[in-house]
Amino acid sequence: MGSELRGVTTSFTLPMFRDRAWPARDRPGAVIVGILNVTPDSFFDGGRYVDPGHAAAHAQALVAAGADAVDIGGESTRPGASPVPQAEELRRVLPVLRRVRPAVSVPISIDTYKAAVARRALDEGADMINDVSAGRFDPEMLDVVAGADAAIVLMHMQGVPAAMQRAPAYPGGDVVGVVEDFLRERAAAGRDAGVARSRIVLDPGIGFGKTTLHNVQLLDRLDAVVRLGYPVMVGPSRKRFIGELTGDEPAGRLAGTAAAVALAIDRGASLVRVHDVEAMVSVARVASACRAHAVGGSTSLDQ
Ligand code: HH2
């Protein structure tokens, strides 16, 4: 998976997909995962893509803008969100997946913590499951992913979306240590269930049971998660902590998102989950080059 970038190398890694490596990409550096929420209530794009035709068109637009993967979600996990019944989540996600799968060649990820949704989506051609509960909310999830040879994102969340932002706190204030221990344990659980090491991605869960300070600490100390030895995904896109730092509403958080994405890549993130693909492709190019130079030493930047 090597490609030249001004004579430097990083340990940049990408997960396997089903029976294949990540498809060839036309640029090196961090992977851009474009967000497609097919929900009425997501905090930024809610209600825009509930129609499967609009959703499929947006997926193609994300890919045309440079997305290396598309993450389709049928349940908002914003702070205060209520769970969506399984049947409703399937009703939202499957028609979109059926249209998007034949229309794009990039990997498709499904943002769900329900094993039944994951199973149906993997049957219909999804490549990766993005589980914000890291396989804890549904005891069958890891088995489903292992059985399909799919990849999985294991994300840290404290509490549940409905209540996670009510005064989040960590023992001794050590959010980095807690998240690191959690992700180490969940990666081991995934491997115990039969998910190959090469198919696991870890995510510190920006905004999931965290104050602004916790989020900043996790971004700054992302190396602690990177050192666990798996590709790391980070999803700061337009989130509340950016608004708390800048005073901007979600619509005005593009520049703040760019700063967080650049920092995450500099600290070793291999994948960034974003709404604004075109802008973040440029951010990722610059930040990935700087990361490659910083880690530097030999001759290529893997993908
Ligand atoms: N953030 C959101 C949803 N899924 N998955 C991962 N792995 N990491 C994240 O940071 C993450 C995620 C929340 O953002 P969004 O999808 O834009 O909003 P909503 O939950 O309201 O649909």
Q: Is 85 inside any structural domain?
A: no
Give the ligand 1 atom nearest the CA of 275.
17
Nearest by Cα to 262 from 244, 248, 242: 242
Report pLDDT for 239.
98
Structure-token match 């294949």, residue found:
20
Question: What is the overall mean pLDDT for the chain?
Answer: 91
Q: Is 58 touching ligand 1 by the criterion CB < 6 Å? A: no
Tell me the C-alpha distance between 279 and 303, whole Å: 19
For the chain, what is the domain count? 1
Report pLDDT for 6.
28
Predicted confidence (pLDDT) at residue 51 exceeds the cutoff of 90: yes
| Domain coverage including residue 157 | 4-76+91-297
Report pLDDT for 230.
94
Q: Is 108 touching ligand 1 by the criterion CB < 6 Å? A: no
Give the Å distance between the CA of 77 and the centre of ligand 1. Answer: 6
Q: Is 273 a catalytic residue?
A: yes
Predicted confidence (pLDDT) at residue 11 exceeds the cutoff of 80: no
Q: Is 84 inside any structural domain?
A: no
Q: Is 110 touching ligand 1 by the criterion CB < 6 Å? A: no
**Half-sphere exposure for 68 (CA within 13 Å, toward CB):** 24
Predicted confidence (pLDDT) at residue 288 exceeds the cutoff of 80: yes
Lowest mean pLDDT among 7-16, 97-106, 226-235, 239-248: 7-16
Give the residue-averaged pLDDT of 273-280: 98
Those residues whose C-beta lies under 8 Å from the C-beta of residue 240, and which sit 6 or more positions away, are: 43, 79, 165, 207, 212
Q: Is 279 inside any structural domain?
A: yes
Give the confidence band of 295 by pLDDT, cuts at 50, 70, 90: confident
- CATH number, domain containing residue 246: 3.20.20.20
Q: Is 269 inside any structural domain?
A: yes
Q: Is 302 inside any structural domain?
A: no
Tell me the C-alpha distance between 36 and 19, whole Å: 25
- pLDDT tens, position by position, 123-161: 999 999 999 999 999 999 999 999 999 999 999 999 999
Q: Is 114 a catalytic residue?
A: no
Helices and strands of the chain, counted as H and E runs:
10, 10
- pLDDT tens, position by position, 152-178: 999 999 999 999 999 899 999 999 999
Q: Is 163 inside any structural domain?
A: yes
Give the Å distance between the CA of 51 and the centre of ligand 1. Answer: 20
Tell me the C-alpha distance between 215 and 207, whole Å: 7
Q: Is 176 inside any structural domain?
A: yes
Give the ligand 1 atom nearest the CA of 237.
17
Q: Closest Cα to atom 3, ligand 1: which residue?
A: 77
- pLDDT tens, position by position, 68-95: 999 999 999 999 998 999 999 999 999 9
Buried b or exposed e, range 209-238, using 16+ CB within 10 angstroms: bbbeebbbbbbebbebbbeeebbbbbbbbb
H-helix or E-strand containing 109? strand 108-111
Q: Is 276 touching ligand 1 by the criterion CB < 6 Å? A: no
Q: Is 174 inside any structural domain?
A: yes
Report pLDDT for 293.
85
Three-state DSSP class for residue 217 = helix
